[in-house]
Amino acid sequence: MPAPDQFIHPSAGANHPDVRTGKIGLLLVALGTPDAPTYGAVRRYLAEFLSDPRVIEVPKWLWWPILHGPILTFRSGRSAKAYARIWDEGLNQSPLLTITRDQAAAMQGRFGHDIVVRWAFRYGSTSIESQLDVLRDAGCDRILIAPLYPHYSATTTATVQDKVFDYLSAVRWQPAIRTLPPYFDNPVYIDTMADHISHALSALDWTPDALLASYHSIPEAYWHKGDPYPCHCRKTSRLLAENLKFDDGFLHTSFQSRVGPTKWVGPYTDHYAEMLVKDRGVRNLAVVAPAFSADCLETLEEIDMELRDSFLAAGGERFAYIPCLNASPHGVDMLADLIHNELRGWIA
């Protein structure tokens, strides 16, 4: 073994690797979308999504035959039809893709040359790995990962961080990483959502009998294992009701998008809306989806189409869906404020 002084150390000369440094990166990450509202594209997307062990906590040997058999065979077609109902034919892309791009462009505009902003999807294209490569190649040696989920869940926030750190495990030259914490009870988020809801309700030419806050559900077993997501959702509802000074019983909380026979956290949005009509006499209903940062299949099709139809069919008279914050000026303000706070020490 040679003595230490016999090693050849890289210098600033020709042998030194060409590595850019000194930049700060921001990566916004949303769930994802198929590339097209077709059976094949949706099947590829669902196969990646439902293969994530954070999403489906079933042993692979048991789950994969079911997934690649009946699940993908039948669900892909149904989901493709649902995506077709909301697809932007002019841009030939899903609304979630459009909105996520707009959010990233808005963040770049807010931070200017201080940071390099990119966006990615956890599932489908554009991938987290590809955009981390872009940021590293741009000289970003400090990167903030911002999962666009106000409420923490292992099925959303954690799986984004899993993918980021899987990437880092294979990278020799690693950037410093920060992650945006969940912000379900952050006063900036609550104030922004409250103002957004207030303006939406005041713009109606009728008065709702109730407001339903619908959150994406998770299997109840995940909650019992320690996932705090349902608690985060209920706290958001409570803080919004307090902020808006709603009368008791005006704001209700429910959970949507359950799949399969497994028991999910409830009450279920579709059942609850029907109960509001039949048991509570609610005829005029407004619905908001506080857990979604951008409108997508679960809000545009599941709430604004399917839930609207079922509520009216059950005897309801008026229905309004309040859109997500999306890339609206107040939504961008809120997100920029949260991100700026996490960049303290990296930027002025």
238 and 126 share one domain: no
Same domain, 107 and 57: yes
- Residue 18 in any domain: the answer is no
DSSP string, 217-270: --BHHHHHTT--HHHHHHHHHHHHHHHHTPPTTSEEEEEE---SSS-BSSSBHH
Span 261-303, pLDDT tens digits: 889 999 999 999 999 999 999 999 999 999 999 999 999 999 9
Instruction: Supply the pLDDT for residue 143.
Output: 98
Same domain, 174 and 45: yes
Answer whether residue 288 is part of any domain.
Answer: yes
Domain range for 303 is: 187-322
DSSP state of 6: G
Domain match, 127 and 264 both: no
Cα–Cα distance measured from residue 169 to residue 160, given in angstroms and rounded to the nearest whole number: 15
Q: Check which CATH number belongs to the domain holding 102 and give it.
A: 3.40.50.1400
Domain presence at residue 294? yes
112: left (phi over 0), alpha (psi -120 to 50) or beta: left
What per-residue confidence (pLDDT) applies to 173? 86
Residues of the chain with pLDDT under 50: 1-9
In-domain check, residue 139: yes
How many structural domains are present in the chain? 2
Asked if residue 62 and residue 162 are part of one domain, the reply reads: yes
Q: What is the pLDDT of residue 8?
A: 42
pLDDT value at position 75? 95
User: How do residues 87-101 score in pLDDT, each as one tens digit?
Assistant: 999 999 999 999 999
The CA distance from 240 to 290, in Å, is 10
Looking at the structure, tell me whether residues 261 and 148 fall in a common domain. Answer: no
- Are residues 161 and 70 in contact, defined by beta-carbon separation less than 8 angstroms? no
Q: Do residues 208 and 303 both lie within one domain?
A: yes
In a domain, 10, yes or no: no
Residues 120 and 208 in one domain: no
Q: Are residues 338 and 232 in the same domain?
A: no
Claim to verify: residue 315 and residue 264 sit in the same structural domain:
yes
Q: Does residue 35 sit in the same domain as residue 178?
A: yes
Q: What is the pLDDT of residue 78?
A: 96
C-alpha dihedral (312, 313, 316, 320), degrees to nearest 10: -20
pTM higher than 0.75 for the full model? yes
In-domain check, residue 16: no
Looking at the structure, do residues 66 and 86 belong to the same domain, yes or no?
yes
238 lies in a domain?
Answer: yes
Asked if the structure places residue 147 within a domain, the reply is yes
